[in-house]
Structure 1
Amino acid sequence: MAQVKWSVDPTHSEVQFKVKHLMITTVTGYFEKFSVEAESEDENFNGASNIVFTADVNSISTNNEQRDTHLKSADFFDADNHSEVRFVGTRYEHVGGNDYKLHGDLTIRNNTKPVTVDVEFGGTVVDPYGQHKAGFTVTGKISRKEFGLTWNAVTEAGSVVVSDDIRLQAEIQLVKQA
């Protein structure tokens, strides 16, 4: 049976990350340019494979130009030398109902670590233009320091400025390719 190929619909998808600032509030950032490719045995994503996500580090936006510039600097993502964040799925595991675990390798700043994210499969539908679409909500958490994003500062009172834990949240809509 031929594999079904899927690509992201960028106008109906978003990728964001959340980090604690001063341990009292959460700052949200987005990757404005990213891609997702996947293959499956059918439209229910049985046997999903070849799942690859990439994000353009230079497309980071936190709605604050100064902070975005700092995130792109060598203190964090080092966009001049590492322009891409990449996740390659190794196993798509059904855990019950519409819930899955996606296991894979995440690479940030040339540091590759195994990561598992939770996936809620929203199903498939044919849109008004005849395109077959599939929807997913992806959530997870990583340690930024494990990927070489170790910059930090401490306030006068001894509080950490940026938390180690980064929460990931993505709404992904894929389009079946002809």
Structure 2
Amino acid sequence: MATWTIDTAHSEIGFKVKHLVISTVSGKFNAFEGKLEGEPDDLLNSKISFSADIESIHTGNEQRDGHLKSGDFFDAAAHPKLTFQSTSIEKKGDDYKVNGNLTLKGVTKPVTLNVEFGGVQKSLYGQTVAGFEVTGKINRQDYGLTWSAVTEAGGVVVGDEVKLAANLELIKQD
């Protein structure tokens, strides 16, 4: 069974959440790692693990990033990492449903991620690389990310549904 690790220079881990119900705020994690134990073109018997450093959250707004790292949201001081560990994988046409446990802020819940396999190539440096696009949704309330506020008009400041999106390039390890 081969081991593949995320090439962080050619990968990104992001999220989107509604702000004031009318617009969307995007963010990403700048520091993360993960691995696939198995074969990328047939994930069925593979194991997938991933983690991201909460301190590396970046939304393009320093004040908002600080609020997200605080106890109101992720509580980075007490819970420095977000983690995912696969539990089962199903093939759906050419794509996969990866079931696993996502841990945020000390709370672990099952989640299903949609995984699209992009293919395998040789890099310019002779490495074997595989590409994936991963999407999913979670309810932030399920993980204790409960802070919110209501506007004067009665609108919610932060939506509960968080869309997850990752573009990943993995390098086969020798």
Same fold (TM over 0.5): yes
Q: Is the partner of 1:58 in helix, strand or coil?
A: helix
Inter-partner Cα distance in structure 2 for 1:124 and 1:81? 38
Inter-partner Cα distance in structure 2 for 1:13 and 1:171? 5
Residue 129 of structure 1 deviates from its aligned partner by: 1.3
Runs of at least 4 residues of structure 1 off by over 6 A? Answer: none
Q: Give CA-to-partner distance per residue, 1:49-94, whole Å, 9 cap, x none.
A: 2310100000000000000000000000000000000000111211
Inter-partner Cα distance in structure 2 for 1:160 and 1:129? 49
Q: Which residue of 1 aligns with 2:135?
A: 139
Residues 9 and 20 of structure 1, relative CA distance in 2, 3 Å threshold: same
Q: Which residue of 2 aligns with 1:83?
A: 80
Q: Give CA-to-partner distance per residue, 1:19-55, whole Å, 9 cap, x none.
A: 0000011000000000111111x45234442310100
Identity score, percent? 53
Q: Which runs of 5+ in 1 are unaligned?
A: none
Inter-partner Cα distance in structure 2 for 1:164 and 1:46? 31
Residue 166 of structure 1 deviates from its aligned partner by: 0.2
Residues 86 and 43 of structure 1, relative CA distance in 2, 3 Å threshold: closer
Inter-partner Cα distance in structure 1 for 2:165 and 2:16? 8
2:21–2:158 Cα contact (<8 Å) kept? yes
1:12 is matched with which residue: 10, 35, 45?
A: 10
Number of matched residues? Answer: 174
Residues 37 and 17 of structure 1, relative CA distance in 2, 3 Å threshold: same
